[in-house]
Amino acid sequence: MSTIGKTLNQFIIESQRAFPDASGDLSGLLNDIGVACKQIAHLVTRSGISGLGGYAETHNVQGEPQKQLDILSHDIFVQQLGWTGHLAAMISEEIEDVISIPTRYPRGQYLLAFDPLDGSSNLDVNVSVGSIFSILRCPDSTTQPGMKAFLQPGTAQVCAGFTVYGPATVLVLTLGNGVHGFTLDRDVGEFILTHPNLRIPQQTAEFAINMSNQRHWDSPVEKYIGECLAGADGVREKNFNLRWVASMVAEVYRILMRGGVFLYPIDERIRQQGGRLRLLYEANPMSFIVEQAGGLSSTGEQRILELMPTELHQRVPVILGSSAEVARLIRYHQKPE
């Protein structure tokens, strides 16, 4: 028995044994994702020294300026996962269309949607960034998967996870049976199970929202945040703390550790584009994780995991975290004042 604790690989293989008919493809894929995340962690840590923390002079399909590490992290995912035979296709924040698996490689039964580097605007200020991923089953094993194959609701996810590259690199995973966190032990090069069965506290006194958008908000969000700000002097009868890292991975990780609510709601400025965060590789995987940890996730009007996607890079409003707080926000959306 190892003295360093359970490795990610061990955890995955043991989980697979619960399903005697499993092909091992998902285990292989998760192992590949772990390797990709270790490579990205290495690049992120060294970006100040290597000079790779800056902009690339290109824009992605959403019109965002790309950092060099957005592109490099995307390349690592594609190179690490394309050849092993577990995937049928991928989509990434950084590429407009579906990424096909080269025909020289065997084709697997899964689809992967990923955000290679979340919060990349934080690279130059040395604040946590991360990678987010969502795994779906490929609905048709005969034809080359196109956009339609990816347009499945979040409830169809087989697995979702994210890695946060912070003071420690931690990979958080759900296979639909709870949420588990694995910390990278750089000395042995393995992710070690350090946070089994994460549960989000129901109540919280901490909220995360970009306050600079306040003048654009709709009334339910205005009301909720107003009450948090009024604290013990208002109807909530307790004081709240505000946090905004501008890396969703860091916010969700914090919520998994000690509760809280995260909002990137619809507002007047972004109403036309449907929201800020992307459904398939940000909102859906994070919603799956949050629900599996006992929290809730909603647009304010609908459960995110039940949305039927219509576009690969579709954006949605996101409200997630401690169940009592998200439930309150949903109530305010039902009865706006």
User: Residues interacting with ligand AHG, by CB under 6 A?
Assistant: 64, 93, 115, 118-121, 210, 246-248, 264, 276
Which residues sit at the interface with Mn ion, rule CB under 5 A?
A: 64, 93, 115, 117-118
A 10 A CB-CB count for 62 gives: 13
- Distance between CA atoms of residues 330 and 164, nearest Å: 28
Q: How far is the CB of 129 from ligand AHG (least distance, A)?
A: 7
Structural tokens at position 256: 């998994």
Please report, for residues 17, 86, 333, the alpha-carbon distance to residue 248 in angstroms, rounded to integers and kept in the order given. Answer: 33, 28, 23
Closest to ligand AHG by CB, 150 vs 162, is: 162
Q: How far is the CB of 165 from ligand AHG (least distance, A)?
A: 12
241 is in an annotated binding site: no
282 is in an annotated binding site: yes
Query: What 3-state DSSP class applies to 333?
Result: helix
Q: What angle do CA 192, 197, 199 make, to 5 degrees?
A: 130
Structural tokens at position 328: 């309150």
- Distance between CA atoms of residues 18 and 227, nearest Å: 46
Q: How far is the CB of 64 from ligand AHG (least distance, A)?
A: 6
- Distance between CA atoms of residues 319 and 123, nearest Å: 25
263 is in an annotated binding site: no
115 is in an annotated binding site: yes
Closest to ligand AHG by CB, 87 vs 252, is: 252
Closest to Mn ion by CB, 93 vs 222, is: 93
329 is in an annotated binding site: no
Closest to Mn ion by CB, 118 vs 206, is: 118
Alpha-carbon dihedral of residues 98, 160, 310, 330, nearest 10 degrees?
-160
From the list ligand AHG, Mn ion, none, partner contacted by residue 284 (C-beta under 5 to 8 A by kind): none
Place of tokens 């997630």: 320
In DSSP terms, 320 is beta-bridged to 262, 297
From the list ligand AHG, Mn ion, none, partner contacted by residue 247 (C-beta under 5 to 8 A by kind): ligand AHG
Closest to Mn ion by CB, 126 vs 203, is: 126
237 is in an annotated binding site: no
First to last CA, the chain: 60
Binding residues for Mg(2+): 93, 115, 117-118, 282
Binding residues for substrate: 118-121, 210
Binding residues: 93, 115, 117-121, 210, 282
